[in-house]
Structure 1
Amino acid sequence: MTTTTEIQIELHTSPTSQPDLNRLMEAPGFGKVFTDHMVLARWTTDKGWHDAKVTARRPLLIDPAASVLHYAQEVFEGMKAYRATDDRILLFRPEENARRFNASADRLAMPRIPEELFLKAVEQLVRIDRDWIPSGDGSLYLRPFMYANEPFLGVRAAEDYVFCVIASPVGAYFKGGAKAVSLWVETGYARAAAGGTGAAKCGGNYAASLAAQAEASRRGCDQVVFLDAAEHKWVEELGGMNVFFVMGYGSLVTPPLGGTILPGITRASIITLAGERGLRVEERPYSFDEWRQDAASGKLVEAFACGTAAVLAGIGLVRHADGEFVVGDGETGKLTAELRRELVGIQKGLAEDKRDWARWIASD
Structure 2
Amino acid sequence: MSYQISIQKTQNPKNKPDQDNLGFGQIFTDHMFIMDYTEGKGWHDPRIVPYGPLSLEPSTMVFHYGQAVFEGLKAYKTEDGRILLFRPRKNMERINISNERVCIPKIDVDFAVEACKTLVSVDRDWIPEAEGTSLYIRPFIISTDPFLGVRPSWTYKFIIILSPVGAYYKEGINPVKIYVESEYVRAVKGGTGYAKTPGNYAASLIAQVKAKELGYTQVLWLDGVEKKYIEEVGTMNVFFKINGEVITPSLDGSILAGITRESTIELLRASGIKVTERKITIEEIYNAHEAGTLEEAFGTGTAAVISPIGELSWNGKVIKINDGKIGETASFVYNTITGIQSGKIEDKFGWTVEVK
* Same topology, TM > 0.5: yes
Structure 2 residue aligned with 1:7? 5
Structure 2 residue aligned with 1:280? 274
Match status 1:352 vs 2:350: no
Question: What is the CA RMSD across the aligned residues, in angstroms?
Answer: 1.1
> Using the alignment, how far apart are the partners of 2:288 and 2:80 within structure 1?
45
Match status 1:187 vs 2:182: yes
Q: 1:118 aligns with which of 112, 120, 136?
A: 112
Structure 2 residue aligned with 1:19? 16
Match status 1:214 vs 2:212: no
Amino acid at match of 1:12: T
> Using the alignment, how far apart are the partners of 2:328 and 2:28 within structure 1?
35
> Using the alignment, how far apart are the partners of 1:15 and 1:268 within structure 2?
38
Structure 1 residue aligned with 2:317? 323
> Using the alignment, how far apart are the partners of 1:5 and 1:116 within structure 2?
11
- Unaligned ranges ≥5, structure 2: none
| Contact kept? 1:4, 1:49, Cα under 8 Å | no
Q: Deviations over 1:3-61 (max 9, x none)?
A: 75221111113242x51443xx414x421111111000000112111111000000011
Report SS of the residue matched to 1:289.
helix
| Contact kept? 1:295, 1:328, Cα under 8 Å | no
- 1:1-364 alignment runs, 5 A limit: 5-16=3-14, 19-22=16-19, 25-27=20-22, 29-135=23-129, 136-248=131-243, 250-362=244-356
Amino acid at match of 1:284: R
| Contact kept? 2:188, 2:225, Cα under 8 Å | yes
Amino acid at match of 2:5: I
Amino acid at match of 2:142: Y
Report SS of the residue matched to 2:324.
coil
Scaled by the length of structure 1, the TM-score of the pair is: 0.95
Across the two proteins, how many residue pairs are aligned to each other? 355
> Using the alignment, how far apart are the partners of 2:268 and 2:72 within structure 1?
23
- Unaligned ranges ≥5, structure 1: none
> Using the alignment, how far apart are the partners of 2:208 and 2:17 within structure 1?
32
| Contact kept? 2:89, 2:110, Cα under 8 Å | no
> Using the alignment, how far apart are the partners of 2:114 and 2:3 within structure 1?
8
| Contact kept? 1:192, 1:229, Cα under 8 Å | yes
Q: Deviations over 1:206-227 (max 9, x none)?
A: 0000000001101101110100
Q: How far 1:300 moved relative to its partner?
A: 1.0
> Using the alignment, how far apart are the partners of 2:5 and 2:280 within structure 1?
46
Q: How far 1:305 moved relative to its partner?
A: 0.3
> Using the alignment, how far apart are the partners of 2:213 and 2:17 within structure 1?
35
| Contact kept? 1:9, 1:53, Cα under 8 Å | yes
Scaled by the length of structure 2, the TM-score of the pair is: 0.97
Task: Please say which of residues 227-236 and 330-339 is displaced more in the overlay.
Answer: 330-339
Amino acid at match of 1:214: V
> Using the alignment, how far apart are the partners of 2:242 and 2:33 within structure 1?
44
